[in-house]
Chains A and B, each alone.
Chain A
Amino acid sequence: MATVPLQHATNEAEWRLPSRGMVAMASLITAESSIFTIFVVAYLYYLGRDVSGPTPKEVLEIPYFGTVCLLSSSGFIMLAERAIEHGKMAAFKLWWSVTLLLGAIFLVDTGMEWRKLIEQDHLTIHTNLFGTCFYSLVGLHASHVIVGMLMMLITLVFALTGHVRAEHSYRVKVLALYWHFVDAVWVVVFTVVYVVGR
């Protein structure tokens, strides 16, 4: 009885399982959400507990432009998903590039905001509690944007060389799910830092 093929069981019904890519990405998102939760809790807990300035009210400006860019990129990546599903590779490459570009604009916008904070307002991670929490939380999100953009860039390069094709639409969707998560987290970070925190 080396290996028992359990063939006596008759089961002709269709056997469908959830796809492992989506389940794994959902799990990763669960883990990442708890990491973000901890940083958000720290941010809220330390609001107004600083012993020295500057305070959020004095220095923070709402980043409307970057926010619009990042949130709209979620729509463009959906267009890209739909395009590759229907085999329209040219449209996929276009929408995918637009998504990447919008992500890049968001990063540049954040970079300019940080530059202003550091050079004009002399707020660094070392200055006070607000600085520590602000740069950690926004930086954590920005690092996720960078990771997402790197993965999208790799996908774009392979799409241009013809290695990513319509049959890979499922994997593209898994990656897009991550990007949607990055955008959704920004809604939370934006609300906490720029709406509640100001």
Chain B
Amino acid sequence: MGTDSMPAPQGIETGLDRTPAASRTGTYLELIHSWIVTVDHKRLGILYICYALVFLLVAGAEALLIRIQLFYPDNHFVSPYTYNRLFTMHGTTMVFLVGMPILFGFGNYLVPLMIGARDMAFPRLNAFSFWISAFAGLLLYYSFIGGVGLYGTGSAPDVAWFAYAPLTERAFSPGHAVDYWAVAILASGIGSIGTAINIIATVFCMRCRGMTLSRIPLLGWLYATVSFLVLVAVSPLTAAQAMLLIDRYLGGHFFDTQMGGSAILWAHFFWIFGHPEVYVLVLPAFAFANEIIPVFSRKAIFGYPAMVAASVGIGFISLGVWAHHMFTIGMTSFGNAFFTLSTMLVSIPTGIKTFNWLATLWGGKIRFATPMLFSIAFLFQWVIAGLTGIMLSVSAWNWQLHNSYFVVAHFHYVLVGAIVFMIFAAIYYWYPKMTGRMLDERLGKWHFWLMVIGFHVTFDVMHFPGLLGMPRQIFTYEPDRGWTLLNQIVSVGGFIQGIAVLILVYNLVHSYFRGVEAGPDPWDAWTLEWSTTSPPPAYNFVVDPVVASRRPLWDLKHPEDPDSAFE
């Protein structure tokens, strides 16, 4: 071309049309291409969130099918085989393809912005982690086409989300449904471990000038704790899946009871992952509450060091409680006592957190915007979920109610009442930052109230069939059991929640085009992500920020009374 002979600024000065010559379809292709090859933490965060929202709708639809099936006794809306697939896929999807990705999505988006960095520590590892997680989701759902399940019938995994051995062995699950399940979880585990490594390196190594450990926003601390839990708790699941695949493909005997293998060992390995996983999901929810409650109470968070200590404490204690899922399998009385006590111990740091949130609210000038409404509901629901948790941690009580709908109601109180509610709060709170537009508040209020009503109709009532002895995962029940009316109320509540989620989806799409312009700082908040434009430029900050307190934007807005004077 001989560019050296060309006068350099010619194109600009002659007013050359600089818009790309490609056609409209070409630019769309370019747009899609730019999202596929991106290593920008913000775009990857949004990809994670969108991916999770799609699977939220899928798994939610599966839940509603389950509820239709249980509406009448002796119902035959779906076959027993389909029913097995529905609850297996509902559980697996919600945990691995909704919960983890959406929380990692927010982490990806927020952690670098909040600590004043321009990207994650390893942007390409970040992209790899997302795409392998996305692949895991597609692989799991491909099993509907490609897999054959329990006793060789039907498609898709049907061994429940904890996939107890030896049900998953070749002899009982021929075909490939279980293989899809195992490989999908293995792949999503690799993605999670990659993201966890990335978040830890980012939080500790990429902080802006002046952001000492005691000034990291609580969200950063909690995501670091979560990432540590992912490293030590998701890895055992990865190892257990490798063992399962060795059994299925290489003829190993890890969980083959005919050859001396142990089904109990699988249960241990699964719950060594399974219980910390609850905290992997709930700690980000706490992180959102830590950011949202102070801003809408117009007060700094109460007891920052105690909050950090409690969060890290929850992380450690949660590693020693797994066998409370296994009381009915049979343990020594020492084992029962140990796991009862260690489980109850978790309530101390979580209690500290709850009281600190209450103390933050106390005397505050509370603004009931939609994110705050969800946060307040979260506080109540989390406490109730914790109380039924303490009931279930007592081994004697657990023997009565294990694998009943009481347990289902309890963990949905945590997963929906605490985690999903805080995810919704986070969506309303950070959507303006991500898109530059506010979500519609009126629709938001509709979403909130329908969600609260639907949630309580469903999951408050669900405790009672459990107390009356209805086991989980049953396909149907006889009319004379006395569970019919309760199940019908639960199902109605489920559909109310479904409508609420559809309102959210409508709001997300509608506000993207029609929402009010947000500006850089719509909530008058204090952390660094609100100091840049909405949406932030690819490089986040024009000038690397320098901070002197936990609330850098407060210092900036109130130079006469900066936080840094008191820390």
| Cβ 8 A contact of B548, one of A1, A4, A11, A136 | A11
Q: Contacts of A42 on B, CB cut-off 8 Å?
A: 243, 254, 265
A20 with B260: CB separation less than 8 A: no
Contact mask A71-104 → B, CB, 8 Å, 1/0? 0000000000000000000000000000000000
Q: Contacts of A195 on B, CB cut-off 8 Å?
A: none
Known: A2-B520, A18-B205, A24-B197. A11 touches B546 (CB 8 A): yes
Contacting B at CB under 8 A, from A1-53, are 1-11, 15, 17-20, 23-24, 27-28, 30-32, 34-35, 37-39, 42, 45-46, 49-52
Nearest neighbor of B238 in chain A, beta-carbon distance: A35
Contacting B at CB under 8 A, from A124-163, are 125-126, 128-129, 132-133, 136
Report if B145 contacts A (CB, 8 A). no
B244: min CB distance to chain A, Å: 12
B556 with A8: CB separation less than 8 A: yes
Find the residue from A19, A30, A45, A52 having the highest chain B CB count within 10 A: A30
Contacting A at CB under 8 A, from B222-254, are 227-228, 231-236, 238-240, 242-243, 246-247, 250-254
B28: min CB distance to chain A, Å: 29
B483: min CB distance to chain A, Å: 39
| Cβ 8 A contact of B236, one of A27, A38, A51, A129 | A38
| Cβ 8 A contact of A125, one of B204, B206, B252, B548 | B252
A49 CA to B533 CA in the complex, in Å? 64
Report if B542 contacts A (CB, 8 A). yes
A28 with B548: CB separation less than 8 A: no
B531 with A125: CB separation less than 8 A: no
A128 CA to B541 CA in the complex, in Å? 60
Find the residue from A27, A35, A45 having the highest chain B CB count within 10 A: A27
Q: Contacts of B547 on A, CB cut-off 8 Å?
A: 6, 9
Q: Contacts of B546 on A, CB cut-off 8 Å?
A: 6-7, 9, 11
B217: min CB distance to chain A, Å: 14
| Cβ 8 A contact of A129, one of B121, B238, B253, B272 | B253
A19: min CB distance to chain B, Å: 6
Known: A15-B209, A27-B201, A34-B232. A51 touches B260 (CB 8 A): yes
Q: Contacts of B555 on A, CB cut-off 8 Å?
A: 6, 8-9
Contacting A at CB under 8 A, from B187-207, are 193, 196-198, 200-202, 204-207
A17 CA to B208 CA in the complex, in Å? 10
Q: Contacts of A15 on B, CB cut-off 8 Å?
A: 209-210
A34 with B235: CB separation less than 8 A: yes
Q: Contacts of A51 on B, CB cut-off 8 Å?
A: 259-260
Nearest neighbor of A7 in chain B, beta-carbon distance: B546
Q: Contacts of A7 on B, CB cut-off 8 Å?
A: 543, 546
A49 with B260: CB separation less than 8 A: yes
Q: Contacts of A125 on B, CB cut-off 8 Å?
A: 246, 250-252
A24 CA to B197 CA in the complex, in Å? 6
Report if B545 contacts A (CB, 8 A). yes
A9 with B552: CB separation less than 8 A: yes
A11 with B209: CB separation less than 8 A: yes
A30 CA to B224 CA in the complex, in Å? 14
Find the residue from B521, B543, B553 having the highest chain A CB count within 10 A: B543
Q: Contacts of B446 on A, CB cut-off 8 Å?
A: none
Find the residue from A20, A45, A50 having the highest chain B CB count within 10 A: A20
A46 CA to B247 CA in the complex, in Å? 15
B235 with A129: CB separation less than 8 A: no
Report if B559 contacts A (CB, 8 A). yes
Known: A8-B555, A128-B259. A3 touches B200 (CB 8 A): no
A10 CA to B548 CA in the complex, in Å? 8
Contacting B at CB under 8 A, from A47-75, are 49-52
A81 CA to B261 CA in the complex, in Å? 45
A2 with B235: CB separation less than 8 A: no
Q: Contacts of B232 on A, CB cut-off 8 Å?
A: 30-31, 34
Nearest neighbor of B192 in chain A, beta-carbon distance: A31
B542 with A5: CB separation less than 8 A: yes
Known: A24-B197, A42-B243, A126-B251. A3 touches B265 (CB 8 A): no
A125 CA to B250 CA in the complex, in Å? 7
Report if B141 contacts A (CB, 8 A). no
Q: Contacts of B533 on A, CB cut-off 8 Å?
A: 2-3
B521 with A1: CB separation less than 8 A: yes
Contact mask B283-326 → A, CB, 8 Å, 1/0? 00000000000000000000000000000000000000000000
Report if B144 contacts A (CB, 8 A). no
Report if B34 contacts A (CB, 8 A). no
B237: min CB distance to chain A, Å: 9
Q: Contacts of A37 on B, CB cut-off 8 Å?
A: 236
Known: A11-B209, A31-B231, A49-B260. A23 touches B201 (CB 8 A): yes
Known: A23-B200, A27-B196. A34 touches B231 (CB 8 A): yes
Q: Contacts of A52 on B, CB cut-off 8 Å?
A: 259
| Cβ 8 A contact of A6, one of B231, B252, B537, B556 | B556
Interface residues of A (CB under 8 A from B): 1-11, 15, 17-20, 23-24, 27-28, 30-32, 34-35, 37-39, 42, 45-46, 49-52, 125-126, 128-129, 132-133, 136
16 CB-based A-B contacts, threshold 8 Å? A5-B541, A6-B546, A9-B564, A18-B204, A18-B205, A27-B197, A28-B193, A31-B232, A32-B235, A34-B239, A35-B239, A38-B272, A46-B261, A51-B259, A126-B253, A132-B247
5 tightest A-B CB contacts, nearest first: A9-B548, A126-B251, A38-B239, A20-B205, A5-B543
Query: Known pairs A30-B232, A132-B254. 5 more at Cβ < 8 A?
Result: A3-B541, A6-B546, A8-B555, A17-B205, A34-B233
